[in-house]
Each structure stands twice: as structure tokens, then as C-alpha cells.
């Protein structure tokens, strides 16, 4: 029986590419999403992948949603915490709501989904959690104190949970994408985007499939000795 994988923010962009790649790798894939019903319907029409709707920043919704997936589809063996939002602005102009909402969804969502699925992985002796961080959580970014803090938190969360899961056969890793050609990046003003691309050694934006291939490897049997790691997929823009 195929292992069940759930991808948060899975109906568009990087999330959809991850869903498709995991499906190709033989997983039964479930996409979680928060708002865009049309994208969820399109994903199912194109791939057959089912979507479940809830807010990953809502703790009880994650517990209930994952329990429903487990009952209707099967025990969840893989969680990819991909859901994320931006509320950019300098600290001077950033409201508390802008700070809190990004932390609630981007970082809180990782805790909520792990809380829902990690116990079952432990009991079954196998699991994969992959958290999608960001280059901006590693290097920082002007106007993103909320986003950078949340993504940086994901990298620390990954290392700590990896230590808890290791002896139970549960690996926990992160991927830190650079600038990827998605709707989120497309919203960046063209002059700013040109300056960003100029700083990427490979000379281009990344593609969603390039992130998805990294996720598929981390979720595979071949990655059993790899845990607590952050894979930077950024075209050489940030090296350390």
C-alpha cells in the first residue's frame, strides 16, 4: 500500500509541483489549502490529487483535518510544510497583525502539522517531515522581519525535531529555496526582481520542479540517514 503524503499549500506553485513529484514517486498525495477552491479543483482535474481545506495556522483545524485524512485515506507518513504567506514592510510600518499572521501560518503551521502527525509516525517507526524554509530565513531580507523570523524559526524547529524523531525512524529536514518563478515572486516589482536575479550566480530564477525534486529525495527511503539538515536550493545566491 502506498504511503500517504500531505503537502500544505499544495494546490499552487511550489506546493503543486511537490504534490505532482511525490505522486510520481508512488505516494498517495493529499493537498491541503486554505482559500483557493478553483486551484484545488484544477489540481484534482489535472492529476486526481484530492485536496482538503483548512487553515494550517489553526491548531484544532490541523488536528481535525489530519485525523480526517487518516480515517478517509490512510495514516499520514509524510508531511511537507509548504504553506506560507507574506505581509512585507519595514518594521517602522509593520503592524502587529502583519507580524502575527506570518508567524501564525508560516511557523505555527509547522508545529500544528507536526503535532498532528508526528505521534503516528513514531508509533509506526517511519516518517518524513520536510519543512520549506527560505533563503531569506538564512540571510535576512529588508522589509521582511516577520517572514525572515518565521523562516529562520523553521530551520531551528527542523533541527530540534530531528533529534526527537531520529531513533523512531522519523527524519525531519528543511529546504531553503531561493527566488523561484512563482506567483509570489511575480508580485515583486520588475526593477527589484532584476536586481535580485543579478545577484544569483546561475543567472536565473529557480523553477518549482527543482524544489520538488529535493523534497522527493528527502521523502524517499534513500534519505533515511539524512536528518536535521537544510538543503539550500538557491542558484548559489547564499552560501555558508
Report the catalytic residues.
Answer: 147
Contact 168, 122 (CB under 8 A): yes
Task: Work out the angle at residue 136's Cα, subtended by the Cα atoms of residues 130 and 142, and round it to the nearest 5 degrees.
Answer: 155
Give the cell for residue 37: 477552491
> What is d(CA 240, CA 189) in angstroms, rounded to the nearest whole number?
28
**Any idea what DSSP says for residue 5?**
E
φ and ψ at 83, to 5 degrees? -60, 135
CA 48 → CA 41, 117, 220, distances in Å? Answer: 9, 23, 22
CB-based contacts of 20, cutoff 8 Å, min separation 6 = 47, 49, 212
Amino acid at each position: 500500500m502506498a504511503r500517504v503524503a500531505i503537502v500544505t499549500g499544495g494546490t499552487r506553485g511550489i506546493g503543486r509541483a511537490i504534490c505532482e513529484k511525490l505522486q510520481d514517486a508512488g505516494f498517495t498525495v493529499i493537498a491541503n489549502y486554505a482559500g483557493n477552491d478553483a486551484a484545488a479543483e484544477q489540481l484534482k482535474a489535472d492529476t486526481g490529487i484530492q485536496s482538503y481545506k483548512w487553515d494550517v495556522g489553526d491548531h484544532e483545524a490541523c488536528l481535525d483535518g489530519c485525523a480526517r485524512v487518516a480515517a478517509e485515506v490512510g495514516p499520514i507518513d509524510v508531511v511537507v510544510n509548504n504553506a506560507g504567506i507574506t505581509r512585507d514592510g519595514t518594521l517602522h510600518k509593520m503592524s502587529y497583525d502583519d507580524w502575527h499572521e506570518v508567524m501564525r501560518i508560516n511557523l505555527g503551521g509547522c508545529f500544528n502539522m507536526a503535532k498532528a502527525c508526528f505521534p503516528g509516525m513514531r508509533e509506526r517507526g517511519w516518517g518524513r517531515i520536510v519543512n520549506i524554509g527560505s533563503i531569506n530565513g538564512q540571510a535576512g531580507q529588508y522589509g521582511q522581519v516577520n517572514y525572515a523570523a518565521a523562516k529562520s524559526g523553521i530551520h531551528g524547529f527542523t533541527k530540534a525535531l530531528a533529534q526527537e524523531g531520529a531513533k523512531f525512524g522519523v527524519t525531519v529536514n528543511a529546504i531553503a529555496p531561493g527566488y523561484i518563478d512563482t506567483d509570489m515572486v511575480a508580485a515583486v516589482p520588475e526593477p527589484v526582481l532584476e536586481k535580485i536575479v543579478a545577484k544569483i550566480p546561475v543567472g536565473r530564477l529557480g523553477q518549482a520542479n527543482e524544489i520538488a525534486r529535493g523534497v522527493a529525495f528527502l521523502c524517499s527511503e534513500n534519505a533515511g540517514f539524512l536528518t536535521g539538515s537544510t538543503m539550500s536550493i538557491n542558484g548559489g545566491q547564499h552560501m555558508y
